[in-house]
Structure 1
Amino acid sequence: MDNVDRNKLFVSKFTPTFQDHEVDKESLYCLEDRDIADLIPKEEQSTRDPETSDSSVEVCPSKTNDKGKRKLDLPGESSQSPARKRPRKDIQGSNKEKRILSDVKNIMRCVLGKLPNKDDKLIKFLKERERNNLKDLETEKSELVGVFGKTGAGKSSLINAVIGVKGLLPSGSISACTSVMIKVEANMKNPKYEADIEFITKEEWKEELWTLINFAGDNEDQENDEDDDQDSVETLSLLYGKEWKNKTPENLMDKKYYSEIPEFLSSGRKTLTSDTAKKLSSALDKYTQSESSEEDAKRYWPLVKCVTVRVPNNPLLQHVTLVDLPGNGDRNKSRDTMWKKVIRSCSTVWIVTDINRAASEKEPWEILKESCSLMGNGGQCRQIHFICTKSDMGRSRNHSAAGVRAQILNENDRAKTKVRAEFSKQKCVKKQFSEECFKVFTVSSTEFLKKKRLDPNETEIPKLQNVLQELNDSHSETFNYVSRARGILSLMQGASSSKGDDIKKNVRTGLEKKLICELQEVREAMKATLTAFKKCLSRGVNKSKSSCEKLLKSVLYAEDNGSAFHRTLKCVVEKGGIHITNKGKSININMKLASCLTDCIDEEFKKTFPNEGNSGPFNGVINAFSLGTEKLKNKKYKNAKLQLTFLMAEEEKIKTELNEIIRERKKTIYRSLEKTIKEKMKPCYDGAEKIKGKGSMNNMRQTIEEHVRRSKDVMFTHAKNAMMEQLEDLMSEVLKELKSTMQESIVLSLKTHAVSIPDVSVELEKVNKHCNDLT
């Protein structure tokens, strides 16, 4: 049998399937390979294209990130218990969405393919809008869940248990490195476990080597900080053994030290693949952990910026990325920049700690206090989950099973009560987050991974899985695309008819008047916001002028251990006022000086740009914007129903886009205060950096203090003005975009005639049905 006959037989086998999805002969030719794959059962695909099994870990060439949308759940090895897999109805719902999406994309591809190649405004708009809709659909969107917790708290075991994969992230007696950020996401491209290792740049490492060698070397003129010295010695020894001694940074950049990781020298990424989680985890060991069971084994984590681990066939990660995060950033500039960017982008944060010390342990609460402004007003976090691990550790062997269960439940309840009480004392955190967004969970990852049938109250890992599922479900790209496709088809069908011109004219006149009124509402709300911010910032400027010198001393004279602080202060001025010590302590002069300004605006900022709830920015005025098209469509102007359907879709689209723009810009606006202070402090940092010799530490302190004393009358006013300018720019942009988009949409739908537009009534009916099915 030749290939043609074989293909005919294969297609005919699935003709009923194509018919069920309303794929006729004409539209079949419009299908792409991936669309056909969606319609064919996976077992058939696997028999036609079997995967070759390979149990070894493969090192792949560097890859560029695939920004395409994650498409299919592909089969892969997983330790999930069958009882904990995604419910059948959810799988059916997901498959249904895929079929609908595939069908609507094919409809739109064929419809737009019939449009003539004319220099016509409407035709150009239709083609451009569909391209944008597809671009939005294919842009990978993922909710970030940041996971904090010190070594030994059970972070790795928690992540393994929640996603149902044993041994993915290492846990146990070997201490995990706290500097490497590990992202865990779904592999939607193949059934392999993969890891992408991204390195810091050669230039950054060479610069860091100077600091490490300085701290590790003996300096008779200075009193040494033993902790910092030891950390530097250990870091250098991980990579170079004993060879780093008496070597310059230039010597240590020789390529012979990096023979196992040539990707570092070529600024590439190293990719590892395996068919099992355990083997991938073992291969990652040298890049993510600071200790090894093998003597003299090299560890490369100081050179690693980030590791992205991809897990196959895991629906919980389809639109969610879990990020195992260091506590307070990193000494390395690029790692710290990435850390801050990720924190600002987290919609959910998990703080992980041992249940026995959940309320009293300082570190998790310090992490929360240090990061709350980055996550809250400076970010987009909507919920904080405080997760108490090892909830099974208090089991008593002297009790019956019922007695053990009662004991665990009582201990879990007591831990939750203590944690909530501690949260209520965190004033700075509560300025950013309400108590409603703070939840406490008690979990036993070990017991859960044993696949025992546990009482849900003994471990709340299933509740955390539900959290991830809800985050997945919050992404409605399919519905958005189908709804917008319906809008385009409605516009086309409405434009192809010249009936009801008088009605269209009346509708257009009414909508233009309504638009003016609605824009005025938005403008007035924004003006009120500007007035409120100006008042808050003016108060902040006055407080800053009177308090700045005292605040500065709290940083410059925080250490009372004599000249051991000298090198730390030197690092602070060399890095523009910001430094993280080897012990993980963050020193930020700029943030401290900006603190009075941020304190004065925090409440107003949270109210204007809320992360929680559904009201939206600017007191909900963007979300409340409406031309009232639905009322008009259902009552007075039924003959303009098609045009009004298009306008409804455009209205929702522009509001979604504006909310996303505002969400990202508000992060920049919030940190503008600290940024301006840093710019104004730069001359004194540059001057202090040049100070050397005897008494240099005190001279550096005096240089900084004198600069602040001279500059305070203008520096804080500059910071206020910079923030006000950015707020005004954002508001102007929002108004301009809202006005121009809706004006253009009204004209296109109600003033344009296009006799060359084909009849799309059949296609519109199909998409309408799909839209209703999704709703």
Structure 2
Amino acid sequence: MLQKYLRSLNKSINRELARDYVNKAKGHLSLIQSGQLNEDKKRIEMKVNEFKKNLKKSLNELDKYFDSIYNDLEQHLSEGVKESVQLCVDSTEKLIASNTNGRGFHKILAALCKNYGCYWSKNWDVIIDLNKTLAKHLHKHIYYDFCQIFPVTGKTRKSVYEQIDQFSIIQSDSACPSSDILYHIHNFIKIEEIKLKAALNRDIVDKKKEIYSSIQITIVKEMASCYQKAAAVKGTGSMKKMQDLLITTVDEKKQDMFNKAKMEVLTRFKILKRDIKSALQDELEEAIERSQSQTSEKRQKDVSREIEELDRLLEQLPD
């Protein structure tokens, strides 16, 4: 069943890459074809200015979206910090408390400290993760936000994927250009947008993982020196000393540690916003400039037949 699923996934990815490649080629051919046509330069300049104006407007709308999502995320992270500070010591005490097999648990606790807060048995039937336990309240409070911002499937009206899909410098009132050259420029811009959005949506999946995992990574960094000290404890009463050291450190670091985890999430979210905006602005500004400069170049080869061939290829590609 896994092999069947992976084959299907691989075919889907290959189809998507093929579609992106054909679309990219079609966009370039449309731009070349626009150089074949004689047109009033003033009309072209008006269309280019319209694209620039729409880009600025769309980027402002994207700003508003990210600011709204950021405020929600900050509020829920603050609630998570408060709950984490209140409950982290009790959670730590329960997790690392000795069971009836004191000798066996001593080895588990030593392995947990040696592995920076995580222990797993050889057959993975027992997993003890102090970092995950400490991060759970922060994760709980942003879980709904993440489901809304980064849904696996479906629409939420707060999804970053939806915002990118809706982003366009081609407005509805300019969807049907009245002249051939404007049609080809319009087509080139549209294909550049499709290609850029597909690349951004792929990148966002990785950024989502980085943002979510940053909470636990921050906790590991804050607790690292404690784990090292606890792992070095030896001799009589070492298990109690390790337990006390872990509990005391969590208690001492809790406010600063969870605030740092909160700020790390928010910082990475700001970076996500910056990267998305920069990519959209830079790539589309370049596309606009290329569409404008193409019309001032000398007449080039007629590629209308090649464009028709690519249209047929796109129709043949399965969805």
1:677-729 deviation line (CA, Å, top 9, x unaligned): 00000111011011100010011000111111111121100111111111101
2:160 corresponds to which letter in structure 1? F
For residues 506 and 572 of structure 1, the distance between their equivalents in structure 2, rounded to whole angstroms, comes to 66
Three-state SS of the structure 2 residue aligned to 1:563 is: helix
Q: 2:189 aligns with which of 630, 647, 651?
A: 647
Could you tell me which residue of structure 2 aligns to residue 587 of structure 1? 128
* Correspondence 1:347-386 to 2 at 5 A: none
Q: Tell me if 1:762 matches 2:287.
A: no
Of 145, 148, 152 in structure 2, the residue corresponding to residue 604 of structure 1 is 145
Partner of 1:759, secondary structure, is coil
Q: Is the 8 A contact 1:537 1:601 kept in 2?
A: yes
Distance 1:558 1:540, change over 3 A: farther
Contact 2:98 2:105 in 1 (8 A): no
2:25 paired residue number? 485
Matching residue's letter, 1:770? L
Q: Secondary structure at 2:21's aligned position in 1?
A: helix
Instruction: Indicate which of 562, 578, 593 corresponds to 2:102.
Output: 562
C-alpha displacement of 1:629: 5.9
Give matches, 1:288-687, under 5 Å. Answer: 318-320=7-9, 472=12, 475-557=15-97, 559-584=99-124, 585-613=126-154, 617-618=159-160, 620-628=162-170, 632-687=174-229
1:490–1:764: 8 Å Cα contact kept in structure 2? yes
Which among 266, 273, 288 is matched to residue 746 of structure 1? 288
What is the Cα deviation at residue 571 of structure 1?
Answer: 0.5
CA-to-aligned-CA distance 1:299-318 (integer Å, 9 cap, x gap)? xxxxxxxxxxxxxxxxx754
Query: How far apart are residue 769 of structure 1 and its match?
Result: 3.4
- Counterpart CA distance in 2 for 1:716 and 1:473 is 39
| Identical positions, percent | 25
Match for 2:187: what amino acid?
Answer: T
Instruction: Give me the whole-angstrom Cα distance separating, in 2, the residues matched to 1:554 and 1:513.
Output: 59
| Alpha-carbon distance between aligned partners in 2 of 1:581 and 1:773, rounded to the nearest angstrom | 52
Q: Does 1:717 align with 2:262?
A: no
What amino acid sits opposite 2:9 in the alignment? V
8 Å Cα contact 1:500/1:639 also seen in 2:
no
Which consecutive unaligned segments of at least 5 residues does structure 2 have? none
For the 8 Å contact 1:650–1:742, the answer to whether it is kept is yes
| Deviation string, structure 1 residues 333-386 (Cα, Å, up to 9, x no partner) | xxxxxxxxxxxxxxxxxxxxxxxxxxxxxxxxxxxxxxxxxxxxxxxxxxxxxx
1:707 aligns with 2:249: yes
Q: Residue deviations 1:20-39, cap 9 Å, x none? A: xxxxxxxxxxxxxxxxxxxx
Structure 2 CA distance for aligned equivalents of residues 317 and 712 of structure 1? 43
Kindly indicate whether the alpha-carbon contact (under 8 Å) linking 1:511 and 1:627 is maintained by their aligned counterparts in 2: yes
C-alpha separation in 1, matches of 2:284 and 2:55: 8
Q: Please name the residue that 1:728 is paired with.
A: 270
C-alpha distance in 1 between matches for 2:151 and 2:169: 24
1:476 deviation in Å? Answer: 2.9
Aligned Cα root-mean-square deviation (Å) = 2.3
Once the two structures are TM-superposed, the CA of residue 772 in structure 1 deviates from its matched residue by 4.0
* Pair 1:774–1:574, CA change in 2 (3 A): closer
Are 1:632 and 1:638, in contact at CA under 8 Å, matched by a contact in 2? Answer: no
| Aligned partner letter, 2:29 | L
Letter in 1 for 2:228: D
Contact 1:490/1:645 (8 A) holds in 2:
yes
Change in Cα spacing, 1:693 to 1:667, as seen in structure 2 (3 Å) is: same
Q: Secondary structure at the match of 1:587?
A: strand
Between structure 1 and structure 2, the one with the greater Rg is: 1
Judging changes above 3 Å, is the alpha-carbon distance between structure 1 residues 592 and 318 closer, same or farther for their aligned structure 2 residues? closer
2:177/2:183 contact within 8 Å kept: no
3-state SS of the aligned residue for 1:610?
Answer: coil
Bigger fraction of residues in helix = 2
Q: Distance between the aligned counterparts of 2:312 and 2:50, measured in 1? A: 30
Map 1:132-151; keep pairs closer than 5 Å: none
C-alpha displacement at 1:497, in angstroms? 3.8
Deviation at 1:553, TM superposition (A): 1.2
Pairwise CA distance, 1:631: 5.4
| Residue identity matched to 2:48 | R
Q: How many Å separate the matches in 1 of 2:41 and 2:317?
A: 33
Could you tell me how far apart the structure 2 residues matched to 1:723 and 1:553 are? 27
Q: Which residue of 2 aligns with 1:698?
A: 240
Task: Quickly say closer, same or farther: Cα 1:317–1:610, change in 2 above 3 A.
Answer: closer
Q: TM-score of the superposition, structure 1-length normalised?
A: 0.39
1:630·1:648 contact (CA, 8 Å) conserved in 2?
A: no
Query: Structure 1 pair 496/579, CA: closer, same or farther in 2 (3 Å)?
Result: farther
Matched-pair contact (CA < 8 Å) for 2:28–2:188: yes
Distance 2:64 2:17 in 1: 32
Distance 1:528 1:710, change over 3 A: same
More strand by share: 1
- Aligned AA (2:96): L
After TM superposition, give the deviation of residue 634 of structure 1 in Å.
2.0
Instruction: Answer whether contact 2:132 2:216 (CA < 8 A) is retained.
Output: yes
Q: Given that residues 526 and 731 in structure 1 are in contact (C-alpha distance below 8 angstroms), is that contact kept between their aligned partners in structure 2?
A: yes
CA distance in 2, matches of 1:528, 1:618: 12
Q: Provide the rounded CA distance (Å) in 1 between the counterparts of 2:94 and 2:121.
A: 17
Deviation by residue 1:511-559 (Cα, 9 ceiling, x = unmatched) = 1111111111111100111111110111111101100001101210163
The whole-number CA distance in structure 1 between the counterparts of 2:208 and 2:219 is 18
Q: Residue 705 and residue 739 in structure 1: after superposition, are their counterparts in 2 closer, same or farther (change >3 A)? A: same
Higher relative contact order at CA 8 Å, sep ≥6: structure 1 or structure 2?
Answer: 2
Runs of at least 5 residues in structure 1 that lack an aligned partner in the other structure: 1-157, 160-183, 186-315, 322-470
Q: Is residue 521–residue 621 contact of structure 1 (8 Å, CA) maintained in 2? A: no
More displaced stretch, 516-525 vs 625-634: 625-634
Closer, same or farther in 2 for the Cα pair 1:666/1:660, shift >3 Å? same
CA distance in 1, matches of 2:93, 2:199: 45
CA contact (8 A) 2:48 2:288 kept: yes
User: 1:756 offset after TM fit, Å?
Assistant: 6.4
The 8 Å contact of residues 633 and 641 in structure 1, kept in 2 or not, is answered as no
Change (3 A) 1:766 1:320: closer
- Residues 536, 637 of structure 1: CA spacing in aligned structure 2 closer, same or farther, 3 A cutoff? farther
Secondary structure of 2:102's partner? Answer: coil
Alignment check: 8 A CA contact 2:37 2:181 kept? no
